[in-house]
């Protein structure tokens, strides 16, 4: 457990730190309320022990600021215990009203301090498992269960954010729509289970190509998503004709290179993908127009015989 100890009196800090450290806790310090707010944000403690009377900013105001900060974060409530010189009923009521959880005399007997810290440490453990579970749930809610790519929901969310940024800065924006060729025949021939395996492998090839493109700085922050069924999408912020076409062709090649047998897929005898791309030189209007244009390109790629990429000239007049 990491404890943020806030007190302006050196003697209190020394005694408390010695005791808390002897129980095996990590202690970080702040000597006034303002410092406490700053340290809280960077240290993310499991517990705050907060003095009330301090120069610069008192403990009540600091607690208010910490609660306001927590509301902007995805953190659970951090316990704050006020350190007081007297444990009166009024002190308790004021402490809770100010957003604290308890109060404790600075001169609390050592066994009481030890017992209270044990209880707090249990709560800290619970908070840690809760936030781990929360993170895991967030991942699950944004990932496609079969392929592990972004699902449609998080794709829409991220796309809206990226599109808004591109709009506000007048940046270019590109989009690829991808669709496995003759996939119904693949399922009919090899069975649904093999179809699922194929989708996973194709998704992995797409993701690898996109990450590689980002790593080589051919694209920036591009990401792949499962659009639905055997269709995928790749968002490419700041795309130009060259970067978008190169990425589209790399993905077509990468899927072909997987060499997954597909006896019913024309003359190739292996799984292939068709890709349609569209982009705007300066984002404006609605992103759905870009999706429609990429869909039209994909349709042309299918008509041209599949296993290829078609990227449109930049859209204009949006
Ligand atoms: P085209 O080359 O024109 O795209 O032909 P296609 O057969 O790929 O297109 P169509 O839309 O007719 O068929 C898509 C198939 O994708 C049908 C559906 O059973 C299959 N499919 C969609 N989602 C899944 C999935 O999660 N798992 C499996 N195994 N198959 C899926
Ligand atoms: Mg003080
Ligand atoms: Mg399809
Ligand atoms: Mg298809």
172-228 per-position pLDDT tens digit? 999 999 999 999 999 999 999 999 999 999 999 999 999 999 999 999 999 999 999
Nearest-CA residue for atom 4 of ligand 1: 181
Which residues, other chains included, contact 149 with Cβ-Cβ below 8 Å and sequence gap of 6+?
Answer: 143, 203, 206, 207, 224, 225, 226, 232
pLDDT at 251: 98
Name every protein residue with a CB atom under 6 angstroms from any ligand 1 atom.
146, 179-185, 187, 192, 195-196, 199, 229-230, 302, 306
CB 291 within 8 A of CB 231: no
Q: Which of 35, 165, 207, 230 is catalytic?
A: 230
Residue 203 is encoded by which pair of tokens?
């998704």
Residue 46 is classified by DSSP as S
As a whole number of angstroms, the distance between CA 232 and CA 149 comes to 9
- Domains, the chain: 2-142 (3.40.50.2300), 152-311 (3.30.70.270)
26 is catalytic: no
Nearest-CA residue for atom 5 of ligand 1: 182
CB 54 within 8 A of CB 31: yes
pLDDT at 131: 84
Residue-wise pLDDT for 52-80, tens only, equals: 989 999 999 999 999 999 988 876 789 99
CB 251 within 8 A of CB 258: no
As a whole number of angstroms, the distance between CA 82 and CA 100 comes to 7
What is the pLDDT averaged over residues 16-23?
A: 95
Residue 318 has pLDDT above 50, yes or no: no
At residue 312, what are phi and psi to the nearest 5 degrees? -75, 160
As a whole number of angstroms, the distance between CA 219 and CA 214 comes to 5
Residue 136 is encoded by which pair of tokens?
């895991």
What is the pLDDT averaged over residues 138-151?
A: 95
Residue-wise pLDDT for 227-257, tens only, equals: 999 999 999 999 999 999 999 999 999 999 9
């Amino acid at each position: 457990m990491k404890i943020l100890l806030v007190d302006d009196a050196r003697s209190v800090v020394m005694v408390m730190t010695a005791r808390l450290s002897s129980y095996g806790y990590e202690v970080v310090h702040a000597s006034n309320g303002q410092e406490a707010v700053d340290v809280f944000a960077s240290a993310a403690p499991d517990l705050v022990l907060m003095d009330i009377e301090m120069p610069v900013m008192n403990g009540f105001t600091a607690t208010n600021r910490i609660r306001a900060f927590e509301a902007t974060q995805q953190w659970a409530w951090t316990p704050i215990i006020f350190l007081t010189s007297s444990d009166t009923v009024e002190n308790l009521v004021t402490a809770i009203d100010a957003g604290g959880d308890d109060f404790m005399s600075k001169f609390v007997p050592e066994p009481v301090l030890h017992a209270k810290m044990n209880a707090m440490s249990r709560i800290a453990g619970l908070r840690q498992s809760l936030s781990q579970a929360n993170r895991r749930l967030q991942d699950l809610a944004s990932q496609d269960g079969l392929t592990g790519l972004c699902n449609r929901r998080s794709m829409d969310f991220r796309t809206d954010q990226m599109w808004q940024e591109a709009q506000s800065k007048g940046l270019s924006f590109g989009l690829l729509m991808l669709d496995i060729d003759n996939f119904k025949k693949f399922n009919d021939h090899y069975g649904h289970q093999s179809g699922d395996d194929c989708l996973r492998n194709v998704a992995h090839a797409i993701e690898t190509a996109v990450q590689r493109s980002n790593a080589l700085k051919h694209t920036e922050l591009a990401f792949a998503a499962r659009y639905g069924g055997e269709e995928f999408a790749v968002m490419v912020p700041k795309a130009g004709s060259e970067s978008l076409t190169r990425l589209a062709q790399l993905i077509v090649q990468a899927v072909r290179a997987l060499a997954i047998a597909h006896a019913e897929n024309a003359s190739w005898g292996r799984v292939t993908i068709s890709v349609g791309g569209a982009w705007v030189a300066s984002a404006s209007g609605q992103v759905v127009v870009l999706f429609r244009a990429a869909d039209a390109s994909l349709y042309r790629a299918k008509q041209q015989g599949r296993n290829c990429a078609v990227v449109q000239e930049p859209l204009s007049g949006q």
